[in-house]
Structure 1
């Protein structure tokens, strides 16, 4: 089984979907007729990414918004407060039917991301280049706005504390706070208990609740109030992401959510049976969220963008039962399809491709929830295939504030665009603050270990015959194409260049 690709060269001068700069984008592209999962794994570890059958790699030093490949160690994933809120909201909805709306639950009208890096149509008789980003902006805006709402809540809490107790940050800095003279009055009401901090009251209520749950009927007088110096009651144990996602299978639950993994193939009966529902959901999402016109998100466009995949389905004896390749992870709520996450299962990771969902259920924060489900799915696969331990979220774009949310999934790493080594994202932030294009590896002498060393060994597919470039070069008639072949081999690396087949007409 071979990967067969056509190198399309450098494409530059198109409009950027992130910063709106005209002519700011630059990327290399290939059309993949077929692609093994191992070859694609190696390509994304060199900064490549697929959209349908089109595979592209941003020219990091020239593009206006550099896109850095980001990956999360799923097995070491740290569940944060923001993500817990989303999981708890889904739990309450499924168990009790509770719907919690907020000002930030609305659909974003940013007409971005699904077309942010869409390559132009190439002169190929039977192929149309599809859209090419990884997560719809609605998921990103949903994450950003939700966190912004939390920050505003925290800010209001701090403001209230500031009014009552002064600004603790300013006090810590040693600055003098000037207070105005109090208005004349009768002073404190001696019939009322003294004022106490809200934090202390919460601690006291928490302790009393714990005591009641344990069946302790001792009077409150025997349990003095918790003072600011009291230690925080320890929880019975830190919950994992699985504890929040696994909803007890009870008869009296309000809703039932079923997540199905379906191969993205018209040869799969289950995929074919759900195709119309999935295509209709995609059209509804694109028109509502991205303001597409009906002809821009019809069944043909849906098929090219999210169903056609160059990845060859593969099974391994020591691997996972589902196999490796492209899949649709369908979310069925009470028998109704409400979301679909398109993913690639590769030897070392689960790679997120796209998400579309029913805008009527935006109050469930499905963009965030689906990412957490995919992380959990990766953790499940890792138990059967030890090497499959990462979750790839596509590209991290530091210059686009709405794309920075990916860095809050921890522990994450960014791919160094020069050495192709992985660096903890916390070490990359200072570099990206000073320069939008940065080399992350600290050793300036550390280069690409898989750099092109022998051009003659690059594999070529010419006139249905596989041959090394050294033989093809002698047989070729017409002008030399050595520059293009060398550029391709440099970008994919020596290993892939010797393993994959570069089609030359």
Structure 2
């Protein structure tokens, strides 16, 4: 359980100043507000991501959509309505061919544009505060008491945050005049066009003289998604990592789900190997230095999934070693993809797409145990970032949630270009009473009105109002804002 009982406890840092954007590289065009989550309940984090917040480690941030250079929209898909596209099936066949025959595909120049199951808060320039700048006294989190003016209940478990990242896209080859060594590529393209023309002519000759009958075919039928999913699930291996293919299978790729907790024996036993893989991924793909994982505990609920809620690692094992790790947040209404890191040697297998497909399948499994857990969150969508274009191709098209009220309405279409910004809907959870915002002061939970009376002459009303406006009335009355 989280220290401090049944509350989320945060420290607000604002964020009116701009800083470098990792998407368009603007030096001071990225604007977002952030707070440090000392503890966070799964339900509170669910409510926050539905209002456009996202986490990078324990730092939770919300982009200012009308001000930042690259708007970042929360994007999700309904797992039960998902049906695989040709690109998805091609990825599965590529992985299954590797497992069954040991054939490693040749990496193409456009492979890096595929992206991973998550956008990169790390790469986007999110700057969490240094630990030594946090003002909270951790003794105040222990045995906190409730002011008589406070009336709130909630169940708690911390969410272990990890920042998300995406492999940088490969550089495109500039257009140059073909040399003698490149002439075969031009000939291959011409030959491909010629074959297509001949095929079209054969179809026209075969249909000439016949009466065409147009039969209306429903695009979405009752049995089509289920039939498609059965075949798709077989290609995934039914959750076992063993695909349904003919012939002798050389390799297996089982997936193990372990909670991010050093008290869990499976997580502890694989921690060193997982950390080493992460370090290699960060240094090879991003040129970064590794950081340590945080601790977390699973939270259970009577109507929740058997694995509980919280942060988990989906470990992909190959021949006794971990080759990829997907970091997930299992929340009351969704599975949120946080991060994926993998061994660089397997980059040509399109593990980003493959792991996203497995996570969608995992979401469907959890939904059978907890009916309200039906969504798969792909993180932020940034139209100006090429490596996120793959998110547009998730069928059916994913919903783009508009802050501040994604729970009341969602925008059905993604932005047309990097400058288009959908209009935000009216906020049903807008801040109405600042005095009801909960704060933690000297180990005591109290409404802000009571705190203001005790701290006469306090000049933090503007800051608290800004914080509460971003959270909304509902979240501001549940989450504790630390006040020194």
For structure 1, which runs of at least 5 residues remain unmatched after alignment?
Answer: 146-154, 167-195, 202-224, 441-445
**Match of 1:348?**
333
Q: 1:346 to 1:165 in 2, by over 3 A?
A: closer
**Match of 1:503?**
482
Distance 2:201 2:82 in 1: 29
Whether the 8 Å contact between 1:115 and 1:133 is mirrored in structure 2 is no
**Match of 2:447?**
468
**Match of 1:397?**
382
Per the TM alignment, residue 254 of structure 1 is displaced from its structure 2 partner at its CA by 0.6
Distance 2:410 2:124 in 1: 26
* Root-mean-square deviation (Å): 3.4
Whether the 8 Å contact between 1:264 and 1:271 is mirrored in structure 2 is yes
Give CA-to-partner distance per residue, 1:151-193, whole Å, 9 cap, x none: xxxx999865765787xxxxxxxxxxxxxxxxxxxxxxxxxxx
Query: What SS does the aligned partner of 2:13 have?
Result: strand
- 1:254 aligns to 2:245 (yes or no): no
Distance 1:102 1:330 in 2: 23
**Match of 1:180?**
none
Q: 1:483 to 1:199 in 2, by over 3 A?
A: farther
Q: 1:117 to 1:11 in 2, by over 3 A?
A: farther
Among 316, 320, 333, the alignment partner of 1:331 is 316
Whether the 8 Å contact between 1:52 and 1:308 is mirrored in structure 2 is no
Among 348, 360, 375, the alignment partner of 1:363 is 348
**Match of 2:125?**
117
Give CA-to-partner distance per residue, 1:35-82, whole Å, 9 cap, x none: 110000000000000111110000111111010010111110121111
Whether the 8 Å contact between 2:99 and 2:252 is mirrored in structure 1 is yes
Distance 1:302 1:199 in 2: 61
Among 301, 318, 323, the alignment partner of 1:316 is 301
Question: TM (normalized to structure 1)?
Answer: 0.75
**Match of 1:302?**
292
Whether the 8 Å contact between 1:39 and 1:500 is mirrored in structure 2 is yes
Q: 1:359 to 1:61 in 2, by over 3 A?
A: same
Whether the 8 Å contact between 2:437 and 2:448 is mirrored in structure 1 is yes
Distance 2:468 2:188 in 1: 56
Q: 1:22 to 1:238 in 2, by over 3 A?
A: same
Distance 2:187 2:310 in 1: 48
Query: What SS does the aligned partner of 1:197 have?
Result: helix
Whether the 8 Å contact between 1:328 and 1:342 is mirrored in structure 2 is yes
**Match of 1:54?**
59
Whether the 8 Å contact between 2:51 and 2:405 is mirrored in structure 1 is no
- 1:429 aligns to 2:425 (yes or no): no
Per the TM alignment, residue 226 of structure 1 is displaced from its structure 2 partner at its CA by 6.8
Q: 1:367 to 1:269 in 2, by over 3 A?
A: same
Q: 1:498 to 1:126 in 2, by over 3 A?
A: closer
Distance 2:475 2:229 in 1: 42
For structure 2, which runs of at least 5 residues remain unmatched after alignment?
Answer: 1-5, 136-159, 174-185, 218-223, 238-242
- 1:458 aligns to 2:437 (yes or no): yes
Q: 1:251 to 1:315 in 2, by over 3 A?
A: farther
Per the TM alignment, residue 383 of structure 1 is displaced from its structure 2 partner at its CA by 1.0
Distance 1:50 1:289 in 2: 21
Distance 1:32 1:156 in 2: 59
Per the TM alignment, residue 91 of structure 1 is displaced from its structure 2 partner at its CA by 1.4
Query: What SS does the aligned partner of 1:137 have?
Result: coil
Per the TM alignment, residue 266 of structure 1 is displaced from its structure 2 partner at its CA by 1.2
Query: What SS does the aligned partner of 1:302 have?
Result: coil
Whether the 8 Å contact between 1:327 and 1:342 is mirrored in structure 2 is yes
Per the TM alignment, residue 499 of structure 1 is displaced from its structure 2 partner at its CA by 1.1
State the structure with more CA Rg.
Answer: 1
1:37-76 mapped onto 2 (5 Å cutoff): 37-76=42-81
Q: 1:462 to 1:251 in 2, by over 3 A?
A: farther
Per the TM alignment, residue 423 of structure 1 is displaced from its structure 2 partner at its CA by 2.8
1:147-226 mapped onto 2 (5 Å cutoff): 160=191, 196-197=198-199
Q: 1:80 to 1:14 in 2, by over 3 A?
A: same
Per the TM alignment, residue 197 of structure 1 is displaced from its structure 2 partner at its CA by 1.7
Per the TM alignment, residue 99 of structure 1 is displaced from its structure 2 partner at its CA by 2.5
Query: What SS does the aligned partner of 1:502 have?
Result: strand
Per the TM alignment, residue 263 of structure 1 is displaced from its structure 2 partner at its CA by 0.5
**Match of 1:136?**
166
